[in-house]
Chain A
Amino acid sequence: MNNSSDLRESIKSKVPSVLATNPRLVMFLVLVVVSTVLSRGVFLSPSNIHNMLRQYSTIGIMAVGQTVVILLAGVDLSQGSMMALVSMVVAYLNVNGFGIVLPLVVGLLVGALGGLFSGTIITKGKVPPFIATLAMASICRGLATLITQSRPIYGLSKELLVFGRDTIGGIGIQVIIWASVGLLGIFMITRTVYGRGVYAVGGNEKSAHLSGINVQKVKLLGYAFSGICAAIAAIVITSRMDMGGPYVNANDNVQSIASVVIGGTSFAGGRGSVSGTILGTVIIAMINNLMNLMLINPYIQQGIIGAIIVVTVTLNQRKARTE
């Protein structure tokens, strides 16, 4: 009798503390329940979950890179435009007879170099990250539209379409790519010297510098990684849409930032995780899925994402202050 009430007490005290320390988990569980009830079980069907993950794989991939730059107390506002530029470059090279491998390699290089360029402006030019990447966004968008005077590029090779359309063992290749990039990000951030450098620089640049970390190099690599993630997302979306699009999903940039924020990474830098971000993207996917199920006007959806960012950042900061 006494034992069971002790047990009850301990569960009572533990459950809320788990939930209180991890609001993402609460959000996730609430969304699962609400979506399942509202859709009369359709939500939990494997095909619905699979579709959702496929659809949000591009945002998920970008968000992994975004996490690293936000951990560095920066931000990358050029991911969306970079995605459009890489999509156009890959499609252009592909339809002009350069095969598959070269366009993909060049696409990834464009992402990496673009990131290095932003990183250089930020570290050498002492330009605030959001303004450097805003300028970069403008440059990438211009270059993306310039290639074909803003017309989409159609007629890609069949082989290029595997990344957005085929499946391995029933799982979409784009979901596998997202999972791989996510695992790579988790490994890089938690298990390598570079990852410790990221937390150190984001937490306190001065003391990181004093303890012998090459701050500029850590930042440069972070922005390069963010650019590469945008390029991988571009390859997936180009493949899925079967075209190079100069205007592909400009809104994805905000969703990538929202994933990171919901995932609990702080804009002050030095605090957060890639695993949190992955859960953040899943939560955004579920919210959009839920809005679709409820037949909510799609035009409202980007506003909702904006509102979610505001609310989550506010809650995160409240929590940080009380700690």
Chain B
Amino acid sequence: MFQNRTQIKNKVGSNFSGNIVLPLVFIAVMLIGALISPLFFSAQNLRNIIIGSATFGILASGMTVILIAGEIDLSVGSQVALTSVVMATLAPRSLTLAIFVSILVTVSIGIVNGVLLTKTKMPSFVLTLSTMGIVRSIALVIGDGQPVYGVPRSYANLANASVGGIPLVALALVVIYLLTWFFLKYTTLGRSIYSVGSNAEAARLTGINVNRIKVAAYAISGFMAGLAGLYYTSYVTLGLPDGAVDYETEAITAAIIGGASFFGGEGQVTNTLLGFLIVAIVKNILNLMGVSPFVQPVAIGLLIIVAVGVRTMRKS
């Protein structure tokens, strides 16, 4: 009984010290924002943060799943661009069809990624760097390199829509993160992704079909890229075959700041949500300070290095 209690205490304690840093950083960036500009906490600014960054938020939840599986997906930015082109091309005929085809396409790309990965055994960043080029090519060919017009106005308005003052996409993000959290924590498939990511050989010995789990993880990544693409289409109001470049980097940054490891088996989607918000707020603060938008990629790159560096030092 006592032993049990100390065990619980230890567990709570370690979780507490591990999890406290991220919320503290989150609160710190919020405070910095408030100090920098009185506009920071205005409803309009908070709306702008979410509406402007939601695409990355959706991508980051899929990226967390892939990172937990011990892999990476660099093709999601191209998938977002392809989705926007498919949407702009098909939506004038039928919105339902366009959405259905978009998701079908990105889930298929995910499955192809997963199958190629497990069949060829090549490093996932090489494979998805290649499919990144292939998917971008397809988007450029369909759109003939030009923006595609034709997204219905009603659909384009969705990105800015709100319910009782809260942006619709904020609610969507909450639902997406809740579902991903539930999926990773309470489903067999979700838990298998953790075990495959932390030790594929051990997972195989316990009877898990490692290849199938990896394909499933990529399918989820594709599904999330499709959702992100649906939102992106509404946000930019057109199909952009050369859009969403480097979006994968920001999604990876959010997941890494949230504590996902490149070596697999680690990561929590709730922390990724915090990571995503921290990145979005840092970008917003730079905007409010009047810093050139071209500084943002520099900040993102430094954030990745600092986040991974700090974690490595804490471990050693």
Contact = CB atoms under 8 A, between A and B. Distances in A.
Interface of A: 75, 77, 121, 125-128, 130-132, 134-139, 141-143, 145-146, 149-150, 250-251, 254, 257, 261, 267, 297, 299-307, 309-310, 313-314, 317
B249 interface: yes
B171 interface: no
A301 B138 CA distance: 10
Contacts of A254: 129-130, 132-133
A309 B252 contact: no
A299 B72 contact: no
Contact of B133 (A132, A145, A251, A297): A251
Interface stretch (B92-100, B115-123, B203-211, B215-223): B115-123
Contacts of B140: 299
Contacts of A138: 246, 249, 297-298, 300-301, 304
26 contacts: A121-B305, A127-B262, A128-B262, A130-B72, A131-B308, A135-B302, A135-B304, A139-B298, A139-B301, A142-B296, A142-B297, A142-B301, A143-B298, A254-B129, A254-B130, A257-B126, A267-B122, A299-B144, A302-B133, A302-B136, A302-B137, A303-B135, A303-B141, A306-B131, A309-B126, A314-B122
Contacts of B245: 250
B15 interface: no
Contacts of B127: 310, 313
A121 B130 contact: no
A313 B126 contact: yes
A267 B123 contact: yes
Interface of B: 72, 116, 119-123, 125-127, 129-138, 140-141, 144-145, 245-246, 249, 252, 256, 262, 292, 294-302, 304-305, 308-309, 312
A295 to B, nearest CB: 14
A75 B125 contact: yes
A317 B122 CA distance: 8
A150 B72 contact: no
B135 to A, nearest CB: 8
A139 B297 contact: yes
A306 B294 contact: no
B133 A306 contact: yes
Contacts of B312: 125-127
Contacts of B299: 142
B243 to A, nearest CB: 14
Nearest to A309: B130
A304 B134 CA distance: 7
A314 B297 contact: no
Contacts, number: 131
B209 to A, nearest CB: 21
Given A138-B298, A307-B130, A301 B123 contact: no
Contacts of A135: 249, 300-302, 304-305
Contacts of B132: 254, 306
A134 B312 CA distance: 18
Given A142-B300, A250-B245, A306-B134, 16 more contacts: A125-B312, A127-B262, A130-B125, A134-B304, A138-B304, A142-B296, A142-B299, A142-B301, A143-B298, A254-B129, A257-B129, A267-B122, A299-B144, A305-B130, A309-B129, A310-B131
B185 to A, nearest CB: 26
Given A135-B302, A306-B131, A309-B126, A149 B294 contact: yes
Contacts of B292: 146, 149
A12 B122 CA distance: 34
Q: Which 3 residue pairs are nearest across A and B when measured between Cβ atoms?
A: A303-B137, A142-B297, A306-B133
Given A121-B309, A127-B309, A131-B308, A142 B133 contact: no
Given A121-B309, A134-B252, A313-B120, A306 B304 contact: no
Contacts of B144: 299
Contact of A300 (B119, B141, B249, B298): B141
Nearest to B72: A130
A299 B295 contact: no
Nearest to B315: A126
Contacts of B123: 130, 267
Contacts of B133: 251, 254, 302-303, 305-306
A297 B139 CA distance: 13
Nearest to B298: A142
Nearest to A313: B122
A299 B125 contact: no
A146 B294 contact: yes
A252 B302 CA distance: 23
Contacts of A257: 126, 129
Nearest to B304: A135
Nearest to A297: B141
Best-buried of B138, B140, B144, B302 by chain A (most CB within 10 Å): B140
